[in-house]
C-alpha cells in the first residue's frame, strides 16, 4: 500500500464517519441548547432533565435518517471490499 492510498482510505473513512454522526450530534446539540435555555429561563437546575428529550430526538433522527445512513455505510463497505484486492497488491 502506498502512502497516498492510505491517506485516501483514511480520508474516506473520516468523511463517512462524519456524515453518519452529523445528524445525531446536530440533533443532540440543538435539543441540549433548547433545554438549557429553558432551564435558564425557569431557573430549574436539574442536570438529568436534558437526557430524555435528547434520547427521544436521537431515536426520531435514527428512524428518519436511518435508511440514508445505512445506504452511506453500505456504499462505503461495498467500495472497500471491491477495492480490497487493489489495496493488497499495491
pLDDT in tens, 9-40: 999 999 999 999 999 999 999 999 999 999 88
Q: What is the pTM of this model?
A: 0.79
pLDDT band at 2 (very low <50, low <70, confident <90, very high): confident
Give me the pLDDT at residue 88, please: 79
Average pLDDT over residues 1-13: 89
Q: Which residues, other chains included, contact 20 with Cβ-Cβ below 8 Å and sequence gap of 6+?
A: 69, 72, 73
The span from the CA of 37 to the CA of 23, in Å, is 21
Comparison of pLDDT for 47 and 8, the residue scoring more = 8
- pLDDT at position 70 is 96
Amino acid at each position: 500500500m502506498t502512502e497516498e492510498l492510505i491517506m485516501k482510505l483514511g480520508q474516506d473513512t473520516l468523511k463517512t464517519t462524519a456524515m453518519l454522526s452529523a445528524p445525531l450530534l446536530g440533533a443532540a446539540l440543538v435539543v441540549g441548547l433548547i433545554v438549557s435555555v429553558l432551564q435558564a429561563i425557569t431557573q430549574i437546575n436539574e442536570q438529568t432533565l436534558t437526557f430524555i428529550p435528547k434520547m427521544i430526538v436521537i431515536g426520531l433522527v435514527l428512524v428518519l435518517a436511518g435508511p440514508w445512513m445505512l445506504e452511506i455505510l453500505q456504499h462505503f463497505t461495498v467500495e472497500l471490499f471491491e477495492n480490497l484486492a487493489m489495496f493488497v497488491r499495491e
